[in-house]
Amino acid sequence: MKLYTYAAAPNPRRVGLLMKYKGIELDTQEIDLMAKEQFSPAFSAVNPRLTLPTLVLDDGTTLSETIAICVYLDELYPDKPVFGKTSLERAQIIGYCHRIFFDGFTAVAEVLRNKGDAFKDSPIPGPLKMPQITELVERGNLRIGAFHEAMNAELAGKQFLVGDTMSQADIDLYVVLGFCGWVRRAIPESCSILQDWFNSMKLALGE
């Protein structure tokens, strides 16, 4: 098995922190997104969608969706499960992962990818070229504010989003809150529950 990744980027971090928490070690190759190595012929042959992370199994099967990689590794390495202990917990965790990605991750991506030259012609990952839409920067910032408030409310009276142990939902939320820093959107003072939770997760993950 081989994992292609770029450790600093948010989606690779979701997998990387899962691996760190569970003690998983894999053959890993860094693909430098800043140097646009994802567009190289060598990597495009591995994953024509040009996205990271990408996990290639021993039989040649390729997994290129982050949540799919997380689910696969969690089942392959069952100690310290991050997708719950029951069917209900599993459903709740996957639901949170979807919500965190849609409400939080994509909001930050709207801001990050629709201004400046770094993502010119590439406001979404992958080979498709398209123009940036500057109006999405304002909308993305509004969504980030709403996301902070919603997650602050969700965590009231909780140590973890689901159940009594860390799950992939917690890892994903922690990563997305860090990703918000890429567009200079720290957790606001009004969201003190979320601030405290983030700090406790940072300690728990050894960061």
Distances (CA, A) of 82 to 15, 54, 150: 11, 20, 22
pTM: 0.96
Which of 68-82, 106-120, 170-184 shows the lowest mean pLDDT across its residues? 106-120
Q: What is the pLDDT of residues 6-33, one digit of tens each?
A: 999 999 999 999 999 999 999 999 999 9
pLDDT of 118 reads 86
pLDDT of 20 reads 98
Q: What is the pLDDT of residues 94-149, one digit of tens each?
A: 999 999 999 999 999 999 999 988 888 888 888 889 999 999 999 999 999 999 99
Residue with the two structure tokens 């504010």? 145
**Domains, in order of start, for the chain:** 2-76 (3.40.30.10), 87-204 (1.20.1050.10)
Q: What is the mean pLDDT of the chain?
A: 96
Strand duo 27-30 + 2-5: pairing:
parallel
* Structure-block tokens of residue 175: 């990563």
If you average pLDDT over residues 182-191, what whole number do you get?
A: 98
If you average pLDDT over residues 44-51, what whole number do you get?
A: 96
If you average pLDDT over residues 53-72, what whole number do you get?
A: 98
Three-state secondary structure call for residue 149: helix
pLDDT of 92 reads 98
The length of the chain is 207
Provide the H-helix boundaries in the chain: 10-22, 41-46, 66-76, 87-99, 106-113, 135-154, 168-180, 192-204
Query: What is the CB neighbour count within 10 angstroms for residue 117?
Result: 7
Distances (CA, A) of 13 to 19, 43, 123, 131, 173: 9, 19, 20, 27, 11
Tell me the C-alpha distance between 138 and 179, whole Å. 17
pLDDT of 172 reads 98
pLDDT of 33 reads 93
Q: Specify the DSSP class assigned to residue 188.
A: P
pLDDT of 97 reads 98
If you average pLDDT over residues 28-40, what whole number do you get?
A: 95
Q: Could you tell me which of 45, 44, 46, 41 has the C-alpha nearest to residue 57? A: 46
In 3-state terms the chain splits into helix, strand, coil percentages (rounded to 5) of 55, 5, 40
